[in-house]
Amino acid sequence: MRLRYWTALILVVCAGAVLTVRQEQESHTPEEPGGTPAAQVQNSEEPLQSTAPDHEQEEPAAPPPAEGKLKAAEKPGLRPSDDDAVKWSRIVSPGESLDMLLAKAGLGAAIRAQVSDALGAEFDLRKLKPGHRLDLELEQDGSPRMATLEIDNGVNIQAAFGTAPSVKVLPPELETVRQAAETEIGTSIYAALDSAGIPTRFATDLELIFAGTLDLQRELAGGERLRIVWRENRLDDRVIGDPMIDFAELEMGETRYEIVWPDDESVRNSIFKDGQPLLAFDQPIRGARLSSPFGLRKHPVHGSVRMHHGVDFSAEHGATVQATQSGRVSFIGRRSGYGMMIEIEHAQDIQTVYAHLSAVNEALEVGQRVAAGDDIGNVGSTGTSTAPHLHYEVVVKGRAVPPLTDTRLPGLSDRKPNHRNTSVLIETARDQLAQLLATDG
Binding residues (CB under 5 A) for Zn ion: these are 26, 310, 312, 391
| Beta carbon nearer to Zn ion, 120 or 310 | 310
Backbone angles phi, psi at 296, to 5 degrees: -80, 130
Task: State in angstroms the smallest separation of the CB of 24 from Zn ion.
Answer: 8
* Among 323, 296, 300, CA closest to 211: 296
| Beta carbon nearer to Zn ion, 26 or 207 | 26
Task: State in angstroms the smallest separation of the CB of 422 from Zn ion.
Answer: 30
d(CA 309, CA 353): 10
Task: State in angstroms the smallest separation of the CB of 208 from Zn ion.
Answer: 12
CB 18 within 8 A of CB 26: yes
Helix residue spans in 232-275 (DSSP H)? none
CA distances from 360 to 2, 76, 254, 267, 339 (A): 45, 41, 47, 20, 11
CA distances from 384 to 11, 256, 381 (A): 21, 40, 8
| Beta carbon nearer to Zn ion, 201 or 356 | 356
| Beta carbon nearer to Zn ion, 193 or 353 | 353
Task: State in angstroms the smallest separation of the CB of 154 from Zn ion.
Answer: 29
| Beta carbon nearer to Zn ion, 33 or 295 | 295
CB 76 within 8 A of CB 33: no
Task: State in angstroms the smallest separation of the CB of 397 from Zn ion.
Answer: 20
Task: State in angstroms the smallest separation of the CB of 26 from Zn ion.
Answer: 5
Q: What are the residues whose beta carbons fall under 8 Å from the beta carbon of 353, sequence distance 6 or more?
A: 310, 338, 341, 342, 343, 391, 392, 393, 394, 395
Task: State in angstroms the smallest separation of the CB of 291 from Zn ion.
Answer: 9
CB 119 within 8 A of CB 167: yes
Residue whose Cβ sits closest to Zn ion: 391
| Beta carbon nearer to Zn ion, 145 or 297 | 297
Q: How many CB atoms lie within 10 A of CB 117?
A: 12
| Beta carbon nearer to Zn ion, 261 or 313 | 313
